[in-house]
Structure 1
Amino acid sequence: MMLTTTVSVVAPKILKELVAAGSVSSARVESGDKGLVIVVRAGMNERVLGAARGGLRYFQSLDGAASVLQSYGIMRFDVNTEHWVPKTMIRGYKQAPIVEDTE
């Protein structure tokens, strides 16, 4: 799990400028303290996408994070969902597949 207390945050406006300038070399979605976060690499620095009104921007679904990345023009990104449990799993809507031993 990422340590979100010591990360560098990039404001949405600044990220838009970095993407427009071609400075963003990679992006990924990973588990944060309160949900998924977007981490972008611009130059030698990695930064987490911030919320418009300060703090980190958290996502509760991969759809939401992917939609935001696409809105910035970022169509390729990595995903690491280690330590993240979708809310649908918590609520019991979807259960993890049951693997039966056939022997």
Structure 2
Amino acid sequence: MPGNPLTDPNWADETTDTVVRLVGTVRDRATTPIVYAARGLVFGLIALFLGVFAVVILLVGLTRGLQSALDWQFEHARSVYVSYLVTGGIFSFIGLLLFKKRNANAS
């Protein structure tokens, strides 16, 4: 009888292979997507934080560089106000362009 474990010499190997295959299938279907989602979430949050940090440092550097460039033309207190005005004007212009494009596809 091939189903009898006492007379079948391959019974232990076949049973072990079946259990290993079953556990591998369950692991692949259950834990692998969760691991990928967790990795994506962690790496996405790290990228988001680094991106926000880079933008803040860029804006501070842009404003400070503009102040230093304007120091030769104006006194320091005035160059600070002019740099804020120029930076605010640039961002206002970008905001107006984006505001204008918000309904461009709806027409």
Q: Same fold (TM over 0.5)?
A: no
Q: Which has the higher strand share?
A: 1
The normalised TM-score by structure 2 is 0.19
The normalised TM-score by structure 1 is 0.19
Q: Which protein shows a greater Rg?
A: 2
Higher relative contact order (CA 8 A, sep 6+): 1
Q: Which has the higher helix share?
A: 2
